[in-house]
Amino acid sequence: MDTKVNDQITDSVTQANVKVVGESPAMAMASIYQSLAHSTGLMFENAVNAQNQQKILAQAAANQGIMQIYSLDTVSDAIAIAKMLNGDGGNR
């Protein structure tokens, strides 16, 4: 028992399938571009974070250097006072 399908129905199904197959490369490229944009965003986020960490390290190193510069007089004064208290009179 053969039933004939209306030609309009078969044409509609064929056109829908052609549309899906025709759009698939564009959808694939869109997915690739979206992944690329996401990974680029992550790359910039990591770069900013690394710059921030380097800035913190540079500030800490500068602070340590300044603390050492300011403590030079204090250390030499402490040595001189210790020599005077020991009765050396600074003859060493």
What amino acid occupies position 44? Answer: F
H helices of 1-92, in order, are 7-85
pTM: 0.53
Domain interval for residue 72: 48-92
52 and 32 in a common domain:
no
pLDDT at 71: 79
Distance CA 49, CA 45 (A): 6
53 and 74 in a common domain:
yes
pLDDT at 20: 83
Please give the tally of structural domains in the chain.
2
DSSP single-letter state for residue 59: H
* pLDDT single digits (tens) 26-71: 999 999 999 999 999 999 999 999 999 999 999 999 999 998 888 7
